[in-house]
Structure 1
């Protein structure tokens, strides 16, 4: 088991958001997290990556207890994070954005760019001059430059044009299936989620309530019942 989360609780200040989260993710898995706005999906990813402290329970990654580890040590252990809104460096070029993540030499930038041919012709362009879809591709590529074993993706299709969404689907399949990188995906776009995830967890009011087969999400009546 790559990721073992037991009884996890977290929140903002004295406000609890997540309660008694138990989550197990195996090497090579592709897990989707689905829930309404405000259910705690982004909070879960931020807690896993260390941006929000754990208030209860435990978090183990590749047999390493990361419950109290700071974010940079989680990243060094192989935990990658692509936040909602991309958060690239807009004043830096594409090449410079990638170099910041690749500075320890874990992965060659050229190797990552093989997965992102669209970025190759944009290497000298400022990140802020890219389209939303291109920025999302850059955020994914930047994460890969640090050689993650597990990638946490938060709403990667937000504000992205359909043509690049298809490109992102193909790229994530390659990352997961050919490079063996485990992925946890938070996403509201059901077509995107079901095209990728092999299992989907339903998050309601700060708790993981149910695990479902992605095929079940194509049935509107079943989906409505799951999301109640």
Structure 2
């Protein structure tokens, strides 16, 4: 089935298909040009020999070293054929991708999540707004150049009874740890351990002297 489907896509969509292969799990993976998102999705859903009628997920990937740093990955399921297919395409920070909500209604929130987390725009989406972060949030958290601490602190203010944004303040200053000699970091522990060792040695010597006298 998988091999036949790859041949079918290669014959029917050579204009958009850039790579077709089988994964280690024997699943079909198609790499397509960005302009082929809608034609390929329509084909995979409606062709009699594919019938990938369910969209399981849409994922995003950020690789800043690439010219087209963002990768969009569509995971489709065909109950009729008992098969899965993964479709991958790519874009940059400014070029939008065609929305597939006209083909798969379930793609609505997936595309909103990718816009929210990565900043990838989808042409034709009827309601492309944030879905996980607050509407006043700045930036896109899943981008590799987004700082781990974020830019602002978002919290609920009890006095104002609303969510407030404040400049980020870390709870402690940056500290440099020297870990070349582990135990030197714990002088109190060393002192206590030395005293216990001396007491044990003293007790052992006293016992030995008592036995010698007997």
TM-score (norm 2): 0.27
Q: Which has the higher contact order (CA 8 A, sep 6+)?
A: 1
TM-score (norm 1): 0.26
Q: Which has the higher helix share?
A: 1
